[in-house]
Amino acid sequence: MNHEVAIRAEGLTRKFGAFTAVDHISFSVEKGEIFGFLGANGAGKTTAIKMLCGLLQPSGGKASVGGFDIFRQTGQLRRNIGYMSQRFSLYEDLSPYENLRFYGGIYGLPRREIKPKAEAVLKKLGLWEEKDQLVSALPLGWKQKLAFSVASFHEPAIVFLDEPTSGVDPVTRRQFWHMIYEAAHQGTTIFITTHYMEEAEYCKRVSIMVSGRIQALDTPGKLKEQYQVSSMDEVFLKLTR
């Protein structure tokens, strides 16, 4: 078994004035794990993710992501992670091909590598025919798969997904999860937030945040056992109500 640590947080804290948004959270995520980061609106998830992505300075505690310290090595950290939000972070006025090349350039991939790689990604996604259309004309499900490919184009060790499946049809949502499984299988660490509690079941382990703290952290199976309920939905309700 591989127990390499991809993310480690110890007592990570962020205050905004008198308000403590993230209150001493500690956890670790293994390499290749799909880790579900759940919580109610306003529980502090977004603040925590921003710190882990090197976009916001913590007020206290320690954390490393992909081996980089989130206080001192934010530049290297950002180059070694991928991030996809619910708003997709794709350029709608560019084509899929241009989006991939653009992000490849931003992340400093060598020019001669970008082209064949972008082409391979487009073929694999089944987007080859549409590679020169504007992204704005693509169906939502395809945008989503493309956004994930863009976020992982520079082969980051860790990909952060912030509510990536909002609003898509049930078949597309499952195809998207298939991509996530595949990436995890190849060793990419997946850190994901979602409001679909059923998707929480697809994660290897999940944490549930309540008012800035991690109230529960375990496999979905163990959490259900611990709270004596049959679904993650009920676990969530028990913890946050």
- Name the one range near another protein by CB under 8 A: 57-65, 94-102, 123-131, 173-181: 173-181
- Name the one range near another protein by CB under 8 A: 101-109, 115-123, 149-157, 190-198: 190-198
162 belongs to the binding site for another protein (CB under 8 A): no
220 belongs to the binding site for another protein (CB under 8 A): yes
240 belongs to the binding site for another protein (CB under 8 A): yes
Selected from 142, 177, 215, 227, the binder of another protein by CB under 8 A is 177
Selected from 139, 187, 222, 225, the binder of another protein by CB under 8 A is 139
How many whole angstroms separate alpha carbon 224 and alpha carbon 234?
Answer: 8
Q: Which residue's CB is nearer to another protein, number 39 or number 104?
A: 39
Task: Check residue 187 and give left, alpha or beta (phi > 0: left; psi -120 to 50: alpha).
Answer: left
What number of chain residues touch another protein (CB under 8 A)? Answer: 38
Q: Which residue's CB is nearer to another protein, number 155 or number 233?
A: 233
- Pairing type for strands 213-218 and 205-210 reads antiparallel
187 belongs to the binding site for another protein (CB under 8 A): no
How many whole angstroms separate alpha carbon 180 and alpha carbon 190?
Answer: 8
- Name the one range near another protein by CB under 8 A: 55-63, 77-85, 95-103, 195-203: 195-203
Selected from 40, 109, 134, 179, the binder of another protein by CB under 8 A is 40
215 belongs to the binding site for another protein (CB under 8 A): no
Position of tokens 């530049």?
A: 75
Selected from 111, 129, 171, 228, the binder of another protein by CB under 8 A is 171
Selected from 57, 178, 187, 225, the binder of another protein by CB under 8 A is 178
